[in-house]
Amino acid sequence: MRFRTPDYYGDFRCIADQCQDNCCIGWEIDIDEDTAAYYRNVGGDFGERLRRNISDGCFTLGEDERCPFLNSRNLCDIYTTLGEAHLCQICTDHPRYYEWFGDIKEGGVGLCCEAAARLILSRDMAIVESDITEDPTDPPDLTVFERLSYDRNVLLQFIAENDLPEAVQLLLDYAEKRQALIDMDNWDTADLYHEEIPVNAPQPEEILSFLCTLEPMSPDWIPRLERIKEVLPTVGDIPKEDYPELRRIAGYFLFRYYLKAVDDLDVLSRVKLTAVCTWVVSMLWRCRRAETGKCSFEDKVLDAKSLSKEIEYNEENLDALLDASYELECMSTAQLKGLFKKI
Ligand code: SF4
């Protein structure tokens, strides 16, 4: 089986007790059946402790929503007592994500982890492949898969070869036209490069208001969105110095989400997700500068991680945003292009 990842995938290392927002706090952790069966048979005091702290297939979160096995030094007692091999699947994988497409597996590291976010923001993405020993899954429609893979390469190329505002506008143009063709069962590429979709005046406050209706994962998220609304009239264009990291974030979203369209043929909402998330991160950075006069690389990493946690790592929020990208005028292709138009 071929395994395809961004080239930084293999460089990821969890920073454990150095992490500012440990993934063992505030998340419900489902225990997969194989691991649950193993935990049921662990003996001694630790086995008792395991069984006391599991209910309904999850670890029972303690005070401050901490995993009951996260000790006072923010290290995992299951890891130190039973070894890495006996972590449940989610804890083994996180923040890595995977998708299976027959004899191709894709993977990466998620932006919701600050150590992963540091990698994603600091390196241009090159996609690499290797052979792994794993049984193939049921194949997708291979013709559709190849066409979408072709598209994704084109879109990643747009990001690699253009400044951020032009790149995002090209992505949106391509996806809008591609979606219209897919809806007519037409996969020609020739028509995709003709006329551009017009640019309309954006309504960024409407996008922010929509985001405020989603379930917040952290108590400071909605107040931050409200502060962005306040500074909106004064922040101006995305500064050029932010282009490299924002392009990497756009590349991350495209790589991770575009091929999911192999199941539902919905490419447009995935590209709009890319545009909206990239724009929100840019606003978090611009708002930070407006308030404090600076935005360091570490600030950028933590803000990108916050956006990811709020949108990507809450399935309902992610679905709501994908749906809204069709339903709300503020997320029409023309208005999203307007968000990235230089004044
Ligand atoms: S969020 Fe990332 S760096 Fe932090 S504890 Fe989890 S995996 Fe490790």
220 burial (CB, 10 Å; 0-12 / 13-18 / 19+) is exposed
Residue 81 reports pLDDT greater than 90 = yes
Coil, helix or strand at residue 130: strand
19 Cβ below 6 A of ligand 1: yes
111 within domain boundaries? no
pLDDT band at 26 (very low <50, low <70, confident <90, very high): confident
Same domain, 214 and 292: yes
Does 323 reside within a domain?
Answer: yes
**326 and 220 within one domain:** yes
Co-location of 57 and 193 in the same domain: no
- How many whole angstroms separate alpha carbon 257 and alpha carbon 175? 13
Same domain, 330 and 229: yes
29 Cβ inside 6 Å of ligand 1: no
For residue 51, the surrounding DSSP H or E stretch is: helix 44-52
| pLDDT over 80 at 138, yes or no | yes
CA of 234 to the centre of ligand 1 (A): 35
Choose the weakest-confidence range: 13-27, 38-52, 166-180, 188-202.
188-202
The number of beta carbons lying within 10 Å of the beta carbon of residue 185 is 7
Mean of pLDDT values over 34-61: 95
Residue 180 lies in a domain: yes
Q: How remote is the C-alpha of 189 from its chain's centroid? A: 28
**Count of domains for the chain:** 2
Rounded to the nearest 5°, which phi and psi values hold at 317?
Answer: -65, -40
Pocket probe for ligand 1: among 11, 25, 113, the residue whose CB has the most ligand atoms within 8 Å is: 113
pLDDT of residue 192: 74
The band of 23, judged by pLDDT with boundaries at 50, 70 and 90, is: confident
pLDDT surpassing 80 at residue 14: yes
- Whether 15 maps to a domain, the answer reads no
Per the structure, the complete domain to which residue 54 belongs is given by 24-91
In a domain, 117, yes or no: no
- Same domain, yes or no, for 326 and 196? yes
Contact 301, 114 (CB under 8 A): yes
Report yes or no: 325 and 318 within 8 Å, Cβ to Cβ: no
Q: Burial letters for 191-208: b for 16+ Cβ neighbours within 10 Å, e otherwise?
A: ebeeeebebbebbbeebb
Query: Angle, nearest 10°, between helix axes 164-183 and 243-257?
Result: 20
Shared domain check, 161 and 71 = no
Mean pLDDT of the chain: 94
- CA–centroid distance, residue 38 to ligand 1 (Å): 24
Task: Identify whether residues 231 and 296 lie together within a single domain.
Answer: yes
Q: Quick one: CA dihedral 132, 263, 166, 306, positive or negative?
A: negative
**Residue 14 near ligand 1, beta carbon < 6 Å:** yes
Domain contains 96:
no
Residue 114 lies in a domain: no
Residues 86 and 147 occupy one common structural domain = no
Q: Quick one: pLDDT band at residue 221, thresholds 50, 70, 90?
A: very high
Pair (201, 319) in one structural domain: yes
- Report if pTM > 0.75: yes
* 343 confidence band (pLDDT: 50, 70, 90): low
Among 52, 69, 91, where does a domain finish?
91
Residue 65 has pLDDT above 90, yes or no: no
Other Cβ atoms within 10 Å of 332 Cβ, number: 20
Which string of DSSP letters, residue by residue, matches 285-325?
HHHHHHHHS---HHHHHHHHHHHHHHHTTSHHHHHHHHHHH
pLDDT band (50, 70, 90) for residue 63: confident
Mark whether 269 and 172 lie in a shared domain.
Answer: yes
Rounded average pLDDT over 269-274: 98
User: Do 226 and 212 contact (CB within 8 A), yes or no?
Assistant: yes
In a domain, 127, yes or no: no
Distance (angstroms) between ligand 1 centre and the Cα of 15 equals 6
Any bridge partners for residue 101, and if so which? Answer: 104
